[in-house]
Amino acid sequence: MALGLKPSFTANPGVTESPGVDAVISALKLMPHIEGGYFIETDRSPDTVSSPFPIKASSTSELTPKRPGFDPTVRNTSTTIHYLLTPNGPQGGFHRNKGRTVHTLHKGRGRYVVIHANESATEKRIETFIVGPNIERGEKLQWIVEGDKYKASYLLPDEDGGVDSQGLLISETVVPGFEFCDHDFLSRQGLEELIGAQKAEELSWLLSPLAK
């Protein structure tokens, strides 16, 4: 069965955002994120725990500078960011975190696609849902993605059936706290191995250009 997912906006790197979107970026001091969109870390818990994850580099470890003071044997108990998708930066490519991620909506609408890569079935389950303020229509205000599941997201118009958006702004809290060595992108080959060639072709536009 065809998934029928398609982008609502086209990425235009370097193009100036609308005044309203630019005001949000400026007010929150957001920076470009390697997944796509913009972000800023707003909290890193001072409390720490021993890392529950094996010590090894990920496919994205070399794409960003190491955080000052990073100890691979330790994790902060949680980290939180603001994350923004915009009409010119409208999607976050397929990636996974080892930690559990709690997402909270602030404004806008978008669609998430989650591949349950850690489930036992040979062809992995695909889950998709809309996040937004229309809770009476099933849109989510809060959603959780457990570790080791791949997720992608893309911007939708602010109004169902509309064409404009002032951006999708959310918060993400990762437990234990986020480190890039706990993060990796999904490659085209990996996508095919998880969901088969036909579905992979349908979802290939959601792959990050940084995926290896």
**107-122 pLDDT tens trace:** 999 999 999 999 999 9
State the pLDDT at residue 1: 58
Ranges of residues in the chain with a pLDDT under 70 are 1
- For residue 156, which of 134, 174, 187 has the smallest C-alpha distance? 134
The per-residue pLDDT for 212 is: 73
Amino acid at 182: D
- Does CATH place domain 19-50+72-206 in 2.60.120.10? yes
Note the pLDDT of residue 3: 82
What is the rounded distance in angstroms from the CA atom of residue 209 to the CA atom of residue 212?
A: 8
**3-class secondary structure per residue, the chain:** CCCCCCCCCCCCCCCCCCHHHHHHHHHHCCEECCCCCEEEEEEECCCEEECCCCCCCCCCHHHCCCCCCCCCCEEECCEEEEEEECCCCCEEEEEEECCEEEEEEEECEEEEEEECCCCCCCCCCEEEEEECCCHHHCCECEEEECCCCEEEEEEECCCCCCCCCCCEEEEEEEECCCCHHHEEECCHHHHHHHHCHHHHHHHHHHCCCCCC
Q: What is the pLDDT of residue 63?
A: 86
Cβ-contact 38, 30 below 8 angstroms: yes
**pLDDT value of position 62:** 83
List the end-to-end C-alpha distance of the chain, in Å, as a whole number: 28
pLDDT for 40 equals: 98
d(CA 152, CA 114): 7
pLDDT confidence of residue 65? 84
- The residues pairing with 85 across neighbouring beta strands, listed in sequence order, are 168
Residues paired with residue 128 on neighbouring β-strands, in sequence order:
113
CA Rg value for the chain: 17
